[in-house]
Each structure stands twice: as C-alpha cells, then as structure tokens.
C-alpha cells in the first residue's frame, strides 16, 4: 500500500494544525503565571534576603576542634590565610582577625 507524497504533506499539515489548536492559550497562561506567581515570588525572596542582611550574625567565635584544621601551611602569604581570605567572614583557627573575643 503506497501513499502519495501529497497525502503525506496533507497529513502533516493536519497534524500540525490540530496540535497548535490545542495549545493556543499557552502563551497567555505563562504570561499570567509570570505576573501572578513568579514576580511576586521573586519580590518576597528579595525582601527576605534584605531583612536577613540587616541582621548579620554577630555571634561569638566558638573554636570547635574539628574545624579549621591546618596540617601544613598554605604555600602563599603567612601560610595561615586561605587564598581568597575575607577577614570579616573567614575566621582563622584562633578566631576572627582583629576581634577581642
């Protein structure tokens, strides 16, 4: 049973037309979801991050024995600071730099 090329083209056109007819409201649905769910969700997350940023962790340094173990010195600087060391965020084995705790 042979099918002519014209019949195959017609079948493809009909299949494409029926598929697009089922999904006409897709773009409108995603647009509504973006404005109703996504943008307010991002706004709530940004507000939460802003509030958490205002209250930085000012807790005392606790020298746990299993953290900041130095078995050998780093090959740069004084050997105690990591390569991307931040004195406000990364404590040394004895505590934060310049703190009196």
Q: What is the pLDDT along the chain (101 residues), one digit of tens a residue?
A: 566 777 777 777 767 665 555 666 788 888 999 999 999 999 999 999 998 877 666 667 788 888 888 889 989 988 889 899 988 888 888 888 876 55
Q: List the chain domain ranges.
A: 14-54
Cβ(93)–Cβ(85) below 8 Å: no
d(CA 43, CA 39): 6
20: left (phi over 0), alpha (psi -120 to 50) or beta: alpha
pTM of the model: 0.40
- Check if the beta carbon of residue 39 is closer than 8 Å to that of residue 62: no
């Amino acid at each position: 049973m042979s099918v002519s090329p014209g019949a195959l083209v017609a079948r493809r056109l009909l299949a494409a037309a029926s598929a697009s007819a089922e999904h006409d409201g897709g773009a409108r649905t995603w647009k509504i979801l973006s404005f109703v769910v996504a943008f307010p969700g991002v706004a709530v997350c940004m507000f939460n991050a802003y509030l958490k940023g205002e209250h930085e962790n000012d807790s005392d340094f606790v020298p746990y024995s299993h953290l900041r173990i130095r078995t050998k010195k780093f090959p740069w600087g004084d050997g105690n600071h990591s390569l991307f060391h931040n004195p406000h965020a990364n404590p040394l084995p004895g505590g934060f730099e310049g703190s009196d705790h």
